[in-house]
Amino acid sequence: MHAVVARVTARIAERSRDSRAAYLAGLDSMLARAAPQERMGCANLAHAYAALPGAEKIKLMAERAPNLAIVTAYNDMLSAHQPYHAYPALLRDEAARCGATVQVAGGVPAMCDGVTQGTPGMELSLFSRDVIAMGTAIALAHDVFDGALLLGVCDKIVPGLLIGALHYGHLPCVFVPAGPMRSGLSNREKAKVRELHAQGLVGRAELLQAESAAYHSPGTCTFYGTANSNQMLLEAMGLVLPGAAFVHPDAPEREQLTRAALHTVLDIGRRGARFTPIGRLVDARCIVNAMVALLATGGSTNHLIHWVAVARSAGIVIDWTDFDELSSAVPLLARVYPNGEADVNQFQAAGGPLWVLRELLAAGLMHELPSVHPGGLAAGARMAATASGDETVLRPVRQPFAPTGGLRLLQGKLGRAVIKVSAVPEDRLVVQAPARVFASQEELLAAFSAGGLREDMVAVLRFQGPRANGMPELHKLTPALSVLQEQGHRVALVTDGRMSGASGKVPAAIHVTPEALEGGPLARVRDGDLLRIDARAGTLDALVDAAEWQRRTPAPPPEALPRGFGRELFTHFRRNAASAEQGACTWL
Ligand SMILES: O=C(O)[C@H](O)[C@@H](O)[C@H](O)[C@H](O)COP(=O)(O)O
Ligand code: SF4
């Protein structure tokens, strides 16, 4: 085991000792209970089974057949989730063949960040994660289940399902992916058309044509953003069938993998050969494996928030210093857009998540752990080829793209922040320039369209944190900032908001904590202040005289509270949200 990985794991386990012990005690008390048929009232059972066909009622009542919950995030709005419409029938059919039953225990909402990007709806996005977690708990609260199949792929949906399922840690759970769409217009070509449009060089019709050629059918979008990072992290945690993530929705193997997921939940159930409740599987080592996989692939910055919340749901406490320390030892093995030209289909063809696991396990950078698959992570990793299928996409640990991971911690006078370095050109890892403060992304884009930004600048967008407006992704800024960068200006973004997992090539210090609304230093920044983002040194500073800095009165937050688009319904989420570094949890 690599010394840094061992040290960080030990520190996390020690820090989490009491909370993890309390979590496991709760899990064991749930396991100690009698079967639902004894433990629950007759009316409860009758209600639970009322809609089942007669034969299945008998299976459950008389034969005590295993009954599995399906928690589904199906809707037609996420291309990645649209295939799920057919999954319950498929799983029901497979369960009947195994003498088991399945019930759709509940559906959870799923927001497509691509649809809401740049719109007020994006201010519900982060908190939808906790709504999904609550929905998962509501589904599993029917409490007549021997295991769960979790149907979700995208950004906040996998974290939300995982957070909810971990609150039922006594259950064996398996994630059931649906796969990516085939490659259309490449992500780089799509980004180019966006930049031309941002400069007024192509019209809306041409832009729409390009976007539609990129996003063209059912399946996950092909950039390595938050959704596809979710798949890599689920593989690293052993919560999905090995190699299941990136098989296309319409491939013949997809149905086999979905049916096999049902067998797997039965195998790891209490009557199966390898009882593996999710709450025991997800321990400090498992969380560290996810962190390592994120760093080794330059995954989404959103997981520096979501996986803190996931870990906490299993009684495990992690922070950005843990990520940063691991990043110093974990090499960058993958270059998938926005970290390179390739898309997730080329990533899969080059060896995919299993190849990454194989390399990281062999190098002692990942813990060899049990998984939902017989033989654990190692057995899954052995399914990968021994050599990379394309060294422009996947490289071995002995010859990585970079000796350190794709995400870094920044800290200094402006607070603590994170930056994705794997997508930023080498000569942009340090940017020192005058601040330009904007009240909103719209204001910045208007200034860009008016031609007012042709200069070196650090754009500061504040009051975008969890408690301010729900911490939206500000990814619509990427084309404009990219154009400025390509014109030779030294530009960067500093914000207490988020960026998309698909953002990348412009240096961005994001998730700044404490957020401006909570007295964070960003509120003291003025136009013209010299700011410095140094991703090499890991610093984020305002080069302003200390006395002057202290004298300053923090800028006031925007008067109007977020209203419309149902944002009023999330007032208590904003009020209760923990900091980004604490996972922006709204339930603590
Ligand atoms: O974190 C992510 O990966 C993003 O939220 C992603 O899910 C979102 O859809 C982007 O907006 C897609 O990128 P475009 O907006 O560039 O299409
Ligand atoms: S990856 Fe993003 S844009 Fe694509 S379906 Fe998922 S949420 Fe929507």
Tokens of 168: 């039922």
pLDDT, position 272: 83
Spacing, Cα 532 to ligand 1 middle (Å): 27
Q: From the CA of 472, which ligand is nearest?
A: 1
Testing ligand 1's pocket by substitution, the residue of 77, 79, 117 carrying the most ligand atoms inside 8 A of its CB is 117
Ligand 1 atom at minimal distance to the Cα of residue 215: 17
Spacing, Cα 500 to ligand 1 middle (Å): 5
Nearest CA, atom 4, ligand 1: 500
Tell whether omega for the bond before 514 is within 30 degrees of 0, i.e. cis: yes
Ligand 2 atom at minimal distance to the Cα of residue 225: 1
Spacing, Cα 224 to ligand 1 middle (Å): 10
Is residue 113 in contact with ligand 2, taking CB distance under 6 Å? Answer: yes
* Contact (Cβ atoms closer than 8 angstroms) between residue 376 and residue 368: yes
DSSP per-residue letters across 124-185: GHHHHHHHHHHHHHHHHTT---SEEEEE--STTHHHHHHHHHHTTTTS-EEE----BPPP-S
CB-count exposure of residue 156 (10 Å: 0-12, 13-18, 19+): buried
Bridge-partner residues for 72, per DSSP?
A: 107, 151
Spacing, Cα 510 to ligand 1 middle (Å): 16
How many of the other CB atoms lie within 10 Å of CB of 89? 10
**Of the candidates 357, 384, 374, 358, which has an alpha carbon nearest to the alpha carbon of residue 241?**
374
User: What residues contact 6, with CB distance under 8 A and at least 6 apart?
Assistant: none
Ligand 1 atom at minimal distance to the Cα of residue 229: 3
Is residue 155 in contact with ligand 2, taking CB distance under 6 Å? Answer: yes
Testing ligand 1's pocket by substitution, the residue of 111, 113, 189 carrying the most ligand atoms inside 8 A of its CB is 113
Is residue 351 in contact with ligand 1, taking CB distance under 6 Å? Answer: no
State pLDDT tens for residues 91-133.
999 999 999 999 999 999 999 999 999 999 999 999 999 999 9
Q: Taking phi first (over 0 means left), then psi (-120 to 50 degrees means alpha), and beta for anything else, what does residue 500 get?
A: beta
Tokens of 81: 């989730």
> Rg for the chain (alpha carbons), in Å?
24
Spacing, Cα 144 to ligand 1 middle (Å): 37
Ligand 2 atom at minimal distance to the Cα of residue 79: 5
Owner of token pair 């295993």: 66
pLDDT, position 26: 98
Spacing, Cα 181 to ligand 2 middle (Å): 11
Q: From the CA of 500, which ligand is nearest?
A: 1
Contacts 24+ apart (CB under 8 A), 565-574: 565/119, 565/120, 565/121, 565/123, 565/124, 566/124, 567/120, 567/123, 567/124, 567/469, 567/470, 570/123, 570/124, 570/127, 570/470, 573/127, 573/130, 573/470, 574/127, 574/466, 574/467, 574/468, 574/469, 574/470
pLDDT, position 358: 98
Is residue 473 in contact with ligand 1, taking CB distance under 6 Å? Answer: yes
What is the value of pTM for the model shown?
0.97
Nearest CA, atom 7, ligand 2: 112
Tokens of 227: 């959704």
In the predicted model, what is the mean pLDDT of the chain? 96
Nearest CA, atom 12, ligand 1: 114
Nearest CA, atom 6, ligand 2: 154
pLDDT, position 586: 95
pLDDT, position 244: 97
pLDDT, position 560: 79
Q: Are strands 173-175 and 508-513 parallel, antiparallel or unpaired?
A: unpaired
State pLDDT tens for residues 378-403.
999 999 999 999 999 999 999 999 99
Residue 15 has pLDDT above 90, yes or no: yes
Residue 504 has pLDDT above 90, yes or no: no
Nearest CA, atom 16, ligand 1: 502
Nearest CA, atom 4, ligand 2: 221
Testing ligand 1's pocket by substitution, the residue of 475, 482, 510, 511 carrying the most ligand atoms inside 8 A of its CB is 475
Of residues 71 and 439, more confidently modeled: 71
Q: How far apart are CA 38 and CA 463, in angstroms?
A: 53
Residue 145 has pLDDT above 90, yes or no: yes
pLDDT, position 419: 97
State pLDDT tens for residues 41-83.
999 999 999 999 998 999 999 889 999 999 999 999 999 999 9
Is residue 229 in contact with ligand 2, taking CB distance under 6 Å? Answer: no
**Of the candidates 46, 117, 50, 111, which has an alpha carbon nearest to the alpha carbon of residue 76?**
111
State pLDDT tens for residues 332-363.
999 999 999 999 999 999 999 999 999 999 99
Q: From the CA of 117, which ligand is nearest?
A: 1
State pLDDT tens for residues 189-238.
999 999 999 999 999 999 999 999 999 999 999 999 999 999 999 999 99
State pLDDT tens for residues 516-530.
999 999 999 999 999
Looking at residues 312-322, what average pLDDT do you find? Answer: 98
**What stretch of H or E contains 534?**
strand 530-534
Q: How far apart are CA 124 and CA 113, in angstroms?
A: 10
Spacing, Cα 406 to ligand 1 middle (Å): 18
Ligand 1 atom at minimal distance to the Cα of residue 115: 9
pLDDT, position 271: 87
CA count, 13 A, side-chain hemisphere, 291 = 36
Spacing, Cα 58 to ligand 2 middle (Å): 41
Looking at residues 243-257, what average pLDDT do you find? Answer: 97
Is residue 136 in contact with ligand 1, taking CB distance under 6 Å? Answer: no
State pLDDT tens for residues 536-586.
999 999 999 999 999 999 999 988 788 899 999 999 999 999 999 999 999
